Structure 1
């Protein structure tokens, strides 16, 4: 049997196949494994931002209600295992090794059979170039089936229509919101992105959304009519106090006040509301969710890399915002939730992101922008970052790796200053793994 280290090396090497939009390959893999994704009910979570937070909240409340819950999210911050969890427990190193070998073997067996059957040859040849996300999605579906989960919460990777997770048959589909991101893949403009995200809406299904743009809602309504699906627009949650962790939820069934989450971002009440709305809906499908489960489940939620405070004096905040909409939310949170004298931003972002849009939304409030490059081939190059930051930043400093950038920020910060590390999960993850630097 391979080692865990060698297995991860194999999985990460699959990233050379890039992003493939389509369901043919994942269909072949899952069929060879006995279609594990069809053996339990699913809540499918899409949208531009807030997918991860909404997914984790859902899973936490369901677990508190007594369900055995599978949770699949991406990307990870510190360790691959974070992506696949059952009742909060990460998949083990041993199980990752064993499942990787099994999926590889099934793929090879399918390829051998295809050599004897010309009809299968084209279909199964796709297995030879399985992408990283397709492979890990298959692993998650298989793990949940073998763990006999009662329900799984599945986060969309990219878009929706052609995302590898879109082979599931959800009880409820959730689209948190829609903003511009990955336009080179999903299409230019909000309308095209919304069209891609509607791919997770199923025939006779249920869509819950927190989107508010008229053009987006028009796309959603048209799609739901065409698929005989019901759409519910979430607009009934309200903050209860000035404390961003307290809020109330008035839904179709529940009227809950003084709910609490330990997540600091003020907008998290919207993600919590979508999660509770989805829980109301699956309550009609036989899942019994009590008020106590809701309250305790929400309070138990902990999310690394989402406005996470890791130090005081100076205050150091880690946030995985990585697109213009996320940068705007982060900016508002920093202005409203923190007091500081100077703000130092450490930012490393991926080359395929809207770097200029991201920096335009946050750099103007920053005293010093430290540009850096996380350890991944996807990271934007220094000259690209510098060019994008110049129109918006008061001061810029370029430091080539995250560890040194973070160390420099700490060395110049005074007790009353604020350091914010952001731009990508990769950047935040590197800081989390080196918190003593």
Structure 2
């Protein structure tokens, strides 16, 4: 690789291979790279919703405590380098170029093998493992699952702790069309003897996870049973709650992320921090948890893009995510006039998502954007009525809102995280 642009062009060019579940290609790359995955102290974080927020809050706590903390997350919002970061700072263009060149040599030789060449996600995952093992070793790495769990590229890691945030009906074409099947795929990250923290609520999903944990002799810590967070109020930028577990009682904690569902995500992060403190001698003080939670940020999660007029972006990209968003809007803006701009992937349950948004929106705009899997405006025609409009030009719609909005108005931009990324990158469409 000669430069950053060439590296990105090669990495993104691997998108043509599509999603390729399975670990054979990762196993081969790890063997060729001298097994970087075996050199890491890691936390593996899966689930349908809440992975990114939980990762961000746990990272912030660990960083506040003085630990150099690596993260591997997806997708990126404003810059590709975000995918691999240290203490929240994306790695450099030069490091991306170095890593891509290292992996390309191996990827090229795999093309003629029976297992085939790696996908884009597998390449980025391999880059992350190599980076944290050999280029920039850190105290701990938080690996966010990409898709599912059992066959996800990250599942070659042997962590000190596994987390399954929630289970929802998403990615049905890959994970199954029942909650039990999806839970089974998510539970695939559970390793022998490695404890699991979860906030899964559905009894049928929880039963699958509990069975897998028991078979793996992995201690299971359940939200609502072994630890809990009780919401006590909202702050300007986040939520306040009381945390209780067998390890600690922490009243009046505050999150830096807004949304009632963030209490659950924050509780998982605190439980994980307590676990690392108790069993792996991570020196994490009371103030580290308090300050870490308050300082945590995560782009595209009920993020304020403009204060006046008020514009908020939230990547609610499935029915469970939209349900959480609707609840938060109702709680935070009960007397405001709500305008929603929505764009999603065509393979998402559009009917259920749009019906929920109609419950809270005074005006709902459906749109498309430049992304291969994005729903097109024709996919939205059946939803059009007196409160739901289809717009071909979302930039004009935003600017029109800016010109008319008063203190009583709120614009919520939601749907695919790729749409949120497009909005944030093209800030010129803002007011």
Instruction: State the TM-score, normalizing by the size of structure 2.
Output: 0.93
Q: Does 1:135 align with 2:129?
A: no
Aligned-residue offset at 1:250: 1.3
For residues 103-149 of structure 1, give each alpha carbon's deviation from its aligned partner in whole angstroms, at most 9, with x where no partner exists: 101333566xx8xxxxxx434xx23xx11111111111111112111
Other structure's SS at 2:250 match: strand
Q: Does 1:420 align with 2:412?
A: yes
For residues 371-422 of structure 1, give each alpha carbon's deviation from its aligned partner in whole angstroms, at most 9, with x where no partner exists: 11122111011111233x34xx642322234433433433443442111100
Q: Which residue of 2 aligns with 1:300?
A: 295
Q: Which residue of 1 aligns with 2:148?
A: 159
Other structure's SS at 2:132 match: helix
Q: How does 1:34-433 map to 2 (within 5 A)?
A: 34-109=34-109, 121-123=113-115, 126-127=116-117, 130-145=118-133, 146-235=135-224, 236-239=227-230, 241-243=232-234, 245-283=239-277, 284-387=279-382, 389-390=383-384, 394-433=386-425
Aligned-residue offset at 1:251: 1.5
Distance, in Å, in 1 between the alignment partners of 2:284 and 2:6 is 42
Other structure's SS at 1:149 match: coil
8 A contact 2:243–2:251 mirrored in 1: yes
For residues 173-200 of structure 1, give each alpha carbon's deviation from its aligned partner in whole angstroms, at most 9, with x where no partner exists: 1111111111111001111100100100
Runs of 5+ in structure 2 lacking a partner?
Answer: none
Distance, in Å, in 2 between the alignment partners of 1:245 and 1:29 is 42
Runs of 5+ in structure 1 lacking a partner?
Answer: 115-120
8 A contact 2:232–2:242 mirrored in 1: no
Distance, in Å, in 2 between the alignment partners of 1:394 and 1:232 is 47
8 A contact 2:57–2:297 mirrored in 1: no
Distance, in Å, in 1 between the alignment partners of 2:38 and 2:329 is 43
Aligned-residue offset at 1:78: 0.9
Aligned-residue offset at 1:70: 0.7
For residues 198-225 of structure 1, give each alpha carbon's deviation from its aligned partner in whole angstroms, at most 9, with x where no partner exists: 1000012211110111111111121112
Tell me which moved more, 20-29 or 407-416. Answer: 407-416
Tell me which moved more, 278-287 or 142-151. Answer: 278-287
Aligned-residue offset at 1:310: 2.0
Other structure's SS at 2:365 match: strand
For residues 258-291 of structure 1, give each alpha carbon's deviation from its aligned partner in whole angstroms, at most 9, with x where no partner exists: 1122211122111011111112222212222211
Distance, in Å, in 1 between the alignment partners of 2:146 and 2:386 is 35
Distance, in Å, in 2 between the alignment partners of 1:357 and 1:375 is 23
The count of residues paired between Structure 1 and Structure 2 equals 422
Aligned-residue offset at 1:339: 4.8
8 A contact 2:329–2:360 mirrored in 1: no
Other structure's SS at 2:273 match: helix
8 A contact 1:201–1:207 mirrored in 2: yes
Other structure's SS at 2:428 match: coil
8 A contact 1:406–1:431 mirrored in 2: no
Q: Which residue of 2 aligns with 1:117?
A: none
Distance, in Å, in 2 between the alignment partners of 1:409 and 1:429 is 20
Aligned-residue offset at 1:233: 0.6
Aligned-residue offset at 1:341: 4.1
Other structure's SS at 1:257 match: strand
Q: Given the superposition, is the C-alpha separation of residues 405 and 165 from structure 1 closer, same or farther in structure 2, using an over 3 Å criterion?
A: farther
Other structure's SS at 2:413 match: strand
8 A contact 1:313–1:417 mirrored in 2: no
Distance, in Å, in 2 between the alignment partners of 1:409 and 1:25 is 48
Tell me which moved more, 294-303 or 51-60. Answer: 294-303
RMSD: 1.8
